[in-house]
Amino acid sequence: MLLGNRPRITNLWSKVVDGESGEWLSRMVVESTRPYEYTLKEVSGGVLLECSGAEVNMPEGKLEVNDGLLRDINVEQTGHDTVRVQMSLEHPAVFNHAVYQDFPAKLVVSLDRSFITGLLSGKRIVVDAGHGGKDFGGRGPVSLLEKNVVMPIASNLEKILKRTGAEVTLTRSDDVDISGEERAALALNVNADAYISIHTNASADSSVEGAATLFSPHDNNSEKLALYIQEEIIKKLKVRDRGTAAQPGLAGIDKGILAVEVEVVTITNIVEEVFLRGLTIQERAAEGIVNGLIKYFALTG
């Protein structure tokens, strides 16, 4: 290491974690060569970290997070030795912080995600992994079957929703064929607030790609939820936006239940078939759907 340098901020990252006391947190970590002086305060729409005696040794600008609470983090060198790190939040959050003087030095800001658990706790959500058994659904140009890939996405969605305190029911957890009527009846039986069906798009045209979210016909609330999920899934997956549309197949779900069908990507496109094999897209798709639900319940109560 060079002698006599100012502390240099070298990395910044964030992650959703469980705290030591069981709390659910968005954690942002600023790494630097040495500790520096700083102030941390709440500002309109976020939290502001102002560092003095430090320099940025990483790209300045906005880092997208989109974890449902922390939207983005903006890093800016505001003077020759002053740095501003602005965290923009989707919802209000209590925060605390700690400094670790090891190497690299770490300033850790923990944002409490209780607002999100408050929104979703107790909500009854049916997660439907589409197709199953003899009903393969779409098939990728190499070999992937829709019925198989929607299952891990549904499991990831179940896991995150349970962490928010939602009551989750899966329509299937094995490779079994279930009729549309049985799926609809399950949603009615558990008195679901929302029915989220996971699918992939399939097309005879192999150049078709991207994600879409379909909604129960003639249901404004389901249409609104579909819009929010679509927005959030596009942010997460960065795939082509195929928009939202009514899905007649969801008409069998009781009208009092929000009902959407998320076509995560298009399995018949070779690139997106390979995407679907990866754990990354399976996790991000679930996160995008949860973010859409958070947005819906935050705006509609």
Whole-angstrom Cα distance, residue 257 to residue 297? 14
Establish if 281 lies at the interface with other proteins (CB under 8 A): yes
Report the site for other proteins in 56-85 (rule: CB under 8 A): 57-59
Q: Are 265 and 201 in contact (CB under 8 A)?
A: yes
CA distances (Å), origin 249, targets 66, 139, 246, 252, 276: 31, 20, 9, 7, 24
- The distance of closest approach from Cβ of residue 177 to other proteins in the complex, given in angstroms and rounded to an integer, is 23
Establish if 218 lies at the interface with other proteins (CB under 8 A): no
Establish if 286 lies at the interface with other proteins (CB under 8 A): no
Q: Is the peptide bond before 104 cis (omega within 30 degrees of 0)?
A: yes
Q: Are 293 and 126 in contact (CB under 8 A)?
A: no
| Residue placing its CB nearer to other proteins in the complex, 185 or 274 | 274
Establish if 145 lies at the interface with other proteins (CB under 8 A): no
128 DSSP β-pair partners = 197
**Residue from 104, 118, 165, 243 that binds other proteins (CB under 8 A)?**
104
CA atoms within 13 A on the CB side of 157: 35
Establish if 205 lies at the interface with other proteins (CB under 8 A): no
Q: Are 120 and 297 in contact (CB under 8 A)?
A: yes
Q: Are 73 and 86 in contact (CB under 8 A)?
A: yes
**Residue from 13, 43, 92, 96 that binds other proteins (CB under 8 A)?**
13
Whole-angstrom Cα distance, residue 104 to residue 8? 10
Q: Are 159 and 127 in contact (CB under 8 A)?
A: no
Reading the block at residue 76, the tokens are 């800016």
Question: Which backbone phi and psi does 270 adopt, to 5 degrees?
Answer: -60, -40
Establish if 1 lies at the interface with other proteins (CB under 8 A): yes
Convert residues 19-58 into a mask of x (bound to other proteins by CB under 8 A) and - (unbound). Answer: ------------x-xx--------------------x-xx
Q: Are 289 and 262 in contact (CB under 8 A)?
A: yes
Establish if 103 lies at the interface with other proteins (CB under 8 A): yes
**Residue from 109, 144, 196, 233 that binds other proteins (CB under 8 A)?**
144
| Residue placing its CB nearer to other proteins in the complex, 148 or 169 | 148
- The distance of closest approach from Cβ of residue 137 to other proteins in the complex, given in angstroms and rounded to an integer, is 17
Establish if 146 lies at the interface with other proteins (CB under 8 A): no
CA distances (Å), origin 284, targets 26, 161, 218: 16, 14, 29
- The distance of closest approach from Cβ of residue 102 to other proteins in the complex, given in angstroms and rounded to an integer, is 8
Establish if 158 lies at the interface with other proteins (CB under 8 A): no
Binding part of the chain for other proteins, among 3-11, 76-84, 217-225, 291-299 by CB under 8 A, reads 3-11
Establish if 263 lies at the interface with other proteins (CB under 8 A): no
Using CB under 8 A as the criterion, which residues of the chain lie in contact with other proteins when the complex forms? 1-5, 8, 10-13, 31, 33-34, 55, 57-59, 103-104, 141-144, 237-238, 270-271, 273-275, 277-278, 280-281
